[in-house]
Amino acid sequence: MSKKEEVSKGFLDALELRGIKRRDFLKYCGATAALLGLSELYGPKIAVALEKASKRTPVVWLNFASDSGCTESFIKATYPSPAEVILDILSVDYNETIMAAAGKQAEEILSNSAKAGGYVLIVEGGIPTKKGHGMIGNKEMLDVLKEMAAPSIAVIAIGSCATDGGVPAAKPNPSQIIGTGEALKRVGITKPLINMDLCPVNPQYLVGVVVNFLLLGKIPDLDSQGRPVMFYGQTIHDNCERRAHFDAGRFVTKFGGQEESLGYCLYKMGCKGPMTYSACPKIQYNDRTSWCIKAGGPCIGCAERGWTDKFAGFYEPLPGVKIPGLGGVEAGADKIGAVAAVATAVGIAVHAVATAGSGRTDEKKGGKK
């Protein structure tokens, strides 16, 4: 790192004044580097990038057909904490859940943002397309999206509802809810779009993408579904802490028993980890306190598009997965019954098993070569 790239003392002093200890700041930058899959040497570069971003990037955060679970999830972020994100890194100009202003004064903020443009638009919740099923301030949510997406510099769709409609778009999809990408297409708007599937979004994924944006001035590498490769490049099964038990053919067959306390694999309890692409085992939740499978809860596949229908019968084992250690027995395709998209499911499962045998083969798909 050249001399010029060092973080200025003045900047660190300014941070101290804001109550951020320099050690914490540099630790945060290091942690962020690790989160992005970068060498820790990138930590100082992140610090420099954040210093250069002297005007905090404005954010407009819109809630559509959501349950606010992603807002709730976001405010559980650590390193940086939500206070740091809101007060020091971004300028969250509009978010109905936390903003002090209400009514007319809130509407003014939104229309001023639209006029000024240049913000990142965060979308939480899907967009109802049945007339009248989702309105804000007497406007159709689809029209609000159109109005607010046009002046934005990029759109981040957080959580399953925003990417594909999520649970409320499950059959029979009573409000004909669609995801952000589809909605933007319908209103003829082309913007850089990042999809962050998961129900709810992992707050560290969101923070990671934001910092990536500030650091590199561009959105991270995305897969064919518009998801950041760094978070969606491998299956849960690839990195699962119970994986050794799967490989050895040791399974939980009853909740809350000895098999569970020994940490055996949850596949037979319906775990969707082999078909679900997400970095859950690595990043975990709530300041790495735990994650679903660690706590004995079989994965329900909530990082996958259409998971509510695709994986319906959450506690039934995935069909077509070869179980190691038992002579390659085919598990329970007969049990799962009429599941939507079984063919796709089998395809992905086979892929998961293929990659499982040869280690983390998906790593080369990662964007950080």
Q: Where in 104-143 is the site for other proteins (CB under 8 A)?
A: 104-109, 128, 130-138
Contacts of other proteins in 240-279 (CB under 8 A):
254-258, 260-261, 269
Report the nearest approach of other proteins to the CB of residue 279 (Å): 13
CA distance 76 to 173: 30
CA distance 212 to 221: 10
Residue 359 found at the interface with other proteins (CB under 8 A): no
Per-residue contact track with other proteins, 332 to 351, x per CB under 8 A?
A: --------------------
Report the nearest approach of other proteins to the CB of residue 98 (Å): 5
Residue 8 found at the interface with other proteins (CB under 8 A): no
Determine the interface stretch with other proteins among 79-87, 205-213, 349-357, 359-367 (rule: CB under 8 A): 79-87
**Cβ closest to other proteins, residue 88 vs residue 221:** 88
* DSSP string for residues in 215-237: HHSSPPPB-TTS-BHHHHSSBHH
Q: What is the dihedral of CA 177, 180, 186, 187, to 10 degrees?
A: 120
- How many Cα neighbours within 13 Å face the side chain of 337? 7
Residue 163 found at the interface with other proteins (CB under 8 A): no
Per-residue contact track with other proteins, 187 to 206, x per CB under 8 A?
A: ------------xx------
Q: Are 232 and 278 in contact (CB under 8 A)?
A: yes
Cβ neighbours of 339 (radius 10 Å): 16
User: Residues in contact with other proteins, total (CB under 8 A)?
Assistant: 96
Residue 171 found at the interface with other proteins (CB under 8 A): yes
Rounded to 5 degrees, what are φ and ψ at 228?
-60, 125
Contacts of other proteins in 271-330 (CB under 8 A):
285-287, 289-298, 300, 302, 308, 312-316
Per-residue contact track with other proteins, 31 to 70, x per CB under 8 A?
A: ------------------------xx-x----x-xxxxxx
**Cβ closest to other proteins, residue 38 vs residue 240:** 240
> Which residues lie closer than 8 Å to 204 by C-beta, 6 or more apart?
35, 77, 78, 283
On the 0-12 / 13-18 / 19+ scale of CB atoms within 10 A, 225 is: middle
3-state secondary structure of 9: helix
